[in-house]
Structure 1
């Protein structure tokens, strides 16, 4: 696929261009930035766009605070398609999950964008995913091993919900079923909220979602988080073991939201945007706000962002093939 052939060298080149922008080539601050976000307002990534966007005012990048333009649908692809066709002058950015670049090329045979259409600016925040069970599963199920044994003994009820087909939580659940040899039926939802609503209502046994979306329900005792996807335990669930601790080493995912610009955006403008975003992510108001939705602020250089995305792209190709999922399947 052309997306895959161009991916690695193009994205790395864009990162290098931003990293080596001459210091003398200073960008002029834009009047206002629009941040495109491909998911509904109120979702966890939306908090990153809004809190960072507020802090762009009065920086070397933007005179005013950013405006967030939510373009939900198609797993975030609509926002990236809009960014592709936006002016490359620093006035439009998009915030998107890394899976939109590293996984979608494998599962959508016809993407309306190519990774070479975008320049990396900075990672915004990291999220871990988690498997949770609700009242449809007996209270004696306290660990991942318990859940898999229950699911094997109750195949008619052995299901998991995700925010959508092709999402990272969907693929994590599919990998869990593949590695455990337990048939876990996938139920796609339109986002995390309806799936968790069904989970706490007892309509579905389990869900795989960004773990931050469970926080309020877990504290209220309405669901039980059995595993999280980070390389170490989540700071928000210190008592919950990771998948790797429970015998599933390839269910390790730190999915991040990253800021992108159109590919032909001047290097000095990309550098100014990076400085403003990284500075905003260190602001206590921003870090406290992201903590409320279970996100870990994480600014980066464009080069670091490109390197991380390249690694995810290379990793998920064979895994998606093993799972056997495409948008047409």
Structure 2
């Protein structure tokens, strides 16, 4: 209903603010230890089908990032020692890099090896324009397609995301596959393999069984096909960051650092550390993350730090 009446936008904003108040402000205060002022989450190893760690009681992985009002909640997360900082490092477009690796698409590999902004590069390829002609709208549309492809998006899903017609969305997806033909081949091949074997694998050979892929029900089968396309990508990204965390623990010990790994949120690792260790972490953390596995394209990790989690992002 968005866009059909001015009040709809107001209701959506009200609901977002209401959610921030009840779930994050009041919710986090309820689970804060009265003596230490800390919150302690629990990580589940085997809950998320993709293989990612999930956080519960409270869920610290869904602290909002998109709305500025929501991001401010991150100001409440501060180091537990005086003179310490929050240090954050996150993988840059790890799922798209994994897609380049497993699809072996030459255009995608070229873009990452030459350190292109991948959304700008996709916009250049899809719209057939030079880099300096890519405007913010083109880049935004290319970004939606890049991430949509990873999740097996339909022309309908893309049209909803971008507020364009299904016909325009279909033309967009078709042009994407013309630019990155090996990606389309990978999508077809992984679905065929899953139908044949009943499972798909990540690059570290973790399996996910998808029996529904041979269902006679169209909706059930379509969802299973999207799962087959997405799991090797998202699942491999999950494997990579888990491996990085294990290597990180060993490296922090080896370097005799006081820094502590506090939290993993999707493709991001969050630490607390004394101020005099920050310069070392700026070298050590990206080094461990970028060398956790070897792909056909380089892995890239960006680091930042600040007095609070908010300031570190």
Instruction: Please give the TM-score of this superposition, normalised by the length of structure 2.
Output: 0.30
Instruction: Please give the TM-score of this superposition, normalised by the length of structure 1.
Output: 0.29
- Answer with 1 or 2: which has the greater Rg: 2
